Amino acid sequence: MKSTLKTLTLALAATLAAGSAEVSAHPGWQSPAVIGATVSSYTSSFNGITVGHGCSNGQGGYLGVVAASWISPSGSTPSVTTPYSTGCDAAGKNCSGVGAQPSVQKFMNSAGTTNSTTLVTTFPSSYVGTMTSLDAELVGISTLAGRMKLNQNKGVFSTQKLHVDSNGNLAGFWEKNGFVDPRSIAVTDMRMTSGGIQFKPGTCATQLILRLAGADICKIDKKLTNEHHQNLWFGGPTAKMSTGHGVHENFWLAYTFTRPAAETANCAAGDKYTITVMPTSQEIDGLSFQGWATR
């Protein structure tokens, strides 16, 4: 029997409120992506990523999406930093500063977490989490590489390729050779695997949050000189990925694994924390593919 597939959706709405032409819509999960962490080998979940519209053309209209790219963090180098922005206005402009944080961190639950209905959280810029590692928190897992999967479906984009890291692990995917009108909805499929993820006994982690980096692309451009040609979704600019709507908004699309409450029942409320894993700057730069962002 075939599994029921939920979808990765690029939902491109045609309208915005007057005066907000420079604001890019945030992507989000189509339905809650909370998964109980178990030791079963092949557990996976199909879900959907939604994007509110295409790219602003700077004149009150929108460009259709012709390509998309997504990167999942590995968490294998926790001491390597990942970017985040602070002090940005609602349009992602006038950022007062750009900093960096470890790619794997503990955030105390009191500082902000996700739940079953709100899956994206921006932690306060003043709050700095404590660096940790996957080895310290999970049983037998030192990398999350390979947990983001593409289901090959060429109904929207006829070219689909995998992003692969230097060790040959699946890091994400990209798609091109298609077109999505801003008034239409495009559908393609993905999944995240949770099989084998098990929190270490005695730890007080309640959730594992994977923050994905993404780009919806409205014109394929090697040098990314025009901010209207792509929406870039991750914490802040890197040296390579610095031009595009959304890049300064400290926004991550978060995929959440939730631990059974019984496993942390003996932990005091103040000792419970969330583990957050983000792509490093090097991993974010891996969003590029032949012909796009390859300056």
pLDDT for 18: 26
Residue 174 CB contacts under 8 Å (≥ 6 apart), including other chains = 67, 68, 69, 70, 160, 161, 163, 287, 289
Give me the percent of the chain exceeding a pLDDT of 70. 71
pLDDT digits 0-9 by tens, 64-107: 999 999 999 999 999 999 888 765 665 556 666 678 889 999 88
Residue 213 CB contacts under 8 Å (≥ 6 apart), including other chains = 70, 71, 73, 233, 234, 252, 279, 283, 284, 287
Of the pLDDT bands very low, low, confident and very high (cuts 50, 70, 90), residue 287 is very high
Residue 270 has pLDDT above 90, yes or no: no
Lowest mean pLDDT across 111-120, 124-133, 177-186, 203-212: 111-120
Rounded Cα distance between 172 and 288, Å, is 11
List the beta bridge partners of residue 116. none
pLDDT digits 0-9 by tens, 186-232: 666 677 888 788 899 999 999 898 889 999 999 999 999 999 999 89
pLDDT for 192: 80
